[in-house]
A and B are shown apart, each in its own frame.
Chain A
Amino acid sequence: MRQSTTAQIANPTLILTINGSQISVAQGANVAVALLQAGIPARKSVSGEPRSLLCAMGVCMECCATVNGVKHVRTCQLMAQPGMEVVTE
Chain B
Amino acid sequence: MAAAAAAARHDADVCLIDDNAKCGGQIWRGHDDRSTEHMGDTHFALLQKSVESSRVALRSRARVVAVPAPSSLRLETETASEDIRYRRLILATGARERFLPFPGWTLQGVMGAGGLQSMVKAGLPIDGKRVVLSGSGPLLLAVAANLAKGGARVLGIFEQARFAQIAKFGIQLLGHPGKLREGAAFRAATRSVPYRTGSWVVQAHGDHALQSVTVSVNGAVRKFQCDYLGCGFHLIPNLEFPRLLQCQIQSGYVCVNETQETSVKDVYCAGEPTGIGGLEKALSEGEIAGLVCADQSASRLIKRRNRYLRLARQLDLTFAPRPELNQLSAPNTFICRCEDVTRGALDSMHSWREAKLHTRCGMGPCQGRICGPAAEFLFGWSSEHPRPPVYPARLSTLAHPVDNTRIKA
Q: Which residues of B contact A1 (CB under 8 A)?
A: 109, 129, 209, 227
Q: Which residues of A contact B75 (CB under 8 A)?
A: none
Nearest-CB distance from A4 to chain B (Å)? 10
Interface of chain B, main secondary structure: loop
State the CA gap A64–B391 with chains docked (Å).
14
Q: A49 is contacted by which of B97, B209, B340, B364 (Cβ under 8 Å)?
A: B340
> Which of B110-118, B246-254, B274-282 faces chain A?
B110-118
State the CA gap A78–B61 with chains docked (Å).
9
- Kindly state whether residue B370 has any CB partner on chain A within 8 Å: yes
Q: Which residues of A contact B334 (CB under 8 A)?
A: 45
- Kindly state whether residue A39 has any CB partner on chain B within 8 Å: yes
Q: A57 is contacted by which of B106, B118, B227 (Cβ under 8 Å)?
A: B118
Chain A 48-78, CB-CB to B under 8 Å as 1, else 0, gives 0111111111111110100000101100111
Contact A72:B111 (CB < 8 A) given known A30-B123, A54-B99: no
Chain A 1-45, CB-CB to B under 8 Å as 1, else 0, gives 110000101000000000000000110111011001101010001
Q: Which residues of A contact B (CB under 8 A)?
A: 1-2, 7, 9, 25-26, 28-30, 32-33, 36-37, 39, 41, 45-47, 49-62, 64, 70, 72-73, 76-79
- Kindly state whether residue B166 has any CB partner on chain A within 8 Å: no
Can you name 22 A-B pairs with beta carbons within 8 Å? A25-B123, A29-B123, A30-B122, A36-B109, A36-B119, A41-B208, A45-B334, A45-B337, A46-B364, A49-B106, A51-B106, A51-B108, A52-B108, A54-B99, A54-B110, A55-B111, A56-B114, A56-B115, A57-B114, A60-B337, A60-B369, A78-B21
Per CB-CB distance, the 8 closest pairs between chain A and chain B, nearest first, are A29-B123, A56-B115, A52-B108, A61-B365, A56-B118, A47-B340, A30-B122, A26-B123
Q: Which residues of A contact B238 (CB under 8 A)?
A: 59
| Number of B residues with CB within 8 Å of any CB on chain A | 41
State the CA gap A72–B366 with chains docked (Å).
12
How many residue pairs link A and B with beta carbons under 8 A? The number is 116
Q: Which residues of B contact A33 (CB under 8 A)?
A: 119, 122-124
Interface of chain A, main secondary structure: loop
State the CA gap A49–B341 with chains docked (Å).
13
Nearest-CB distance from B201 to chain A (Å)? 14
Q: Give the interface centre of B108, B110, B366 by most chain A CB atoms within 10 Å.
A: B108
State the CA gap A7–B109 with chains docked (Å).
17
State the CA gap A9–B126 with chains docked (Å).
11
State the CA gap A32–B108 with chains docked (Å).
12
Q: Which residues of B contact A79 (CB under 8 A)?
A: 21
State the CA gap A78–B123 with chains docked (Å).
12
Least CB separation from B122: chain A residue: A30
Nearest-CB distance from B22 to chain A (Å)? 9
B118-157 at interface with A (beta carbon < 8 Å): 118-119, 122-125, 129
Least CB separation from A9: chain B residue: B125
Chain B 87-110, CB-CB to A under 8 Å as 1, else 0, gives 000000000110100000010111
Task: Give 9 new A-B contacts, CB below 8 A, not counting A28-B122, A72-B392.
Answer: A7-B125, A45-B334, A50-B208, A53-B119, A56-B118, A60-B366, A64-B365, A76-B118, A77-B20
Least CB separation from B364: chain A residue: A61
State the CA gap A7–B19 with chains docked (Å).
29
Q: Which residues of A contact B339 (CB under 8 A)?
A: 46
B27-73 at interface with A (beta carbon < 8 Å): 32, 61
Contact A55:B108 (CB < 8 A) given known A29-B123, A33-B122, A77-B21: no
Q: Which residues of A contact B364 (CB under 8 A)?
A: 46, 61
B119 touches A39 (CB 8 A): no
Q: B122 is contacted by which of A29, A52, A62 (Cβ under 8 Å)?
A: A29
- Kindly state whether residue B263 has any CB partner on chain A within 8 Å: no
Q: Which residues of A contact B78 (CB under 8 A)?
A: 70, 73
Nearest-CB distance from A11 to chain B (Å)? 8
A76 touches B340 (CB 8 A): no
